[in-house]
Amino acid sequence: MSDDVKEIFSPGSAPVAPPAPAALAAKVRTLAPSMTRSMQRVAEAVANDPAACAALTVTGLAELTGTSEATVVRTARVLGYPGYRDLRLALAGLAAHQLSGRAPSVTADIAVDDPLPDVVAKLAYDEQQTLADTAAGLDMGQLGAAVAALAGARRIDVYGVGASGLVAQDLTQKLLRIGLIAQAHSDPHLAVTNAVQLRAKDVAVAITHSGSTGDVIEPLRVAFDHGATTVAITGRPDGPVSQYADHVLTTSTARESELRPAAMSSRTSQLLVVDCLFVGVAQRTYESAAPALSASYEALAHRHRIGGPSR
């Protein structure tokens, strides 16, 4: 084994807890776009045929993918495993899941001439896979820290544009209904001018699938510089937004197609993370959250009656 491979295998920087086998496919889908082309070949190989790759040595997988042993081990580490041996164990576990009757990880893309029943079935499968991948890949330590910060915040700003802006509004609405002071900002100028006012007891949340949306990163950076606790909800944990995030919550994304771009598929996983944050905060602040939620329901109840508001 070459010296560089031995160095990569050294235990000094190994992750404490490698991802569970069920999270492997999600990690590949999330991280592959940011890998080098050679690392992508390794990642795609282990995701497409975990059983076959689990039977290969590090040299065998390097030969199969036309890469080097060092590239194989680096890919394993990027995916969260201390070394190739740990990745092989995860591959064997993933293969066992698939042999036990689990649905395949890849389905056909939606075609222009697909009948509506097929469109519904494909979308439903992709949504389910995206949710499962996001849940499997969520870092519970990061999630818990973000929940604690939101629960104790004096003020919460949420930044998002486009489809992520809709998710930002959803998070804000939920937090408002349990009595927290929260604002969603889709206008980048207003976002920055509000971020300037944030301080140590405040929280700023940035929602960006790409992790590189400038209109979202700028206000988060300003909030970070002013001492606020910052949270990023992103599909690219290695993206620029993470430089200014105290806590990073990674989302998964269903496969893109011509009729379903990333902005649409990312929303499902973002909404799951938002719901996890909300429920976690509501649990921590239950004594104040429960009455606030009841009051909001009561205040709106008359609007849901037949005939509209009573007079």
Other C-beta atoms lying within 10 Å of the C-beta of residue 64: 16
**HSE value, Cβ hemisphere, 13 Å, CA-based, for 153:** 31
Res 244: pLDDT = 97
Closest CA to 228 of 237, 219, 236: 219
The closest of 105, 96, 98, 100 to 125, measured between CA atoms, is 105
The residue-averaged pLDDT of 270-287 equals: 96
Q: Tell me: the pLDDT tens digits for 201-233?
A: 999 999 999 899 999 999 999 999 999 999 999
Over residues 279-287, the mean pLDDT reads 95
Q: With bands split at pLDDT 50, 70 and 90, how would you rate the model's confidence at 308?
A: low
* Predicted pLDDT of residue 104: 44
Cα–Cα distance measured from residue 1 to residue 115, given in angstroms and rounded to the nearest whole number:
54
Distance of CA 306 to the CA centre of its chain: 40
Separation CA 186–CA 182 (nearest Å)? 14
pLDDT over 80 at 309, yes or no: no
Residue 21, pLDDT score: 62
Of 34-38, 119-123, 194-198, least confident by mean pLDDT is 119-123
Q: What average pLDDT is seen over the chain? A: 84
Handedness of CA 247, 237, 182, 215 (dihedral sign): positive
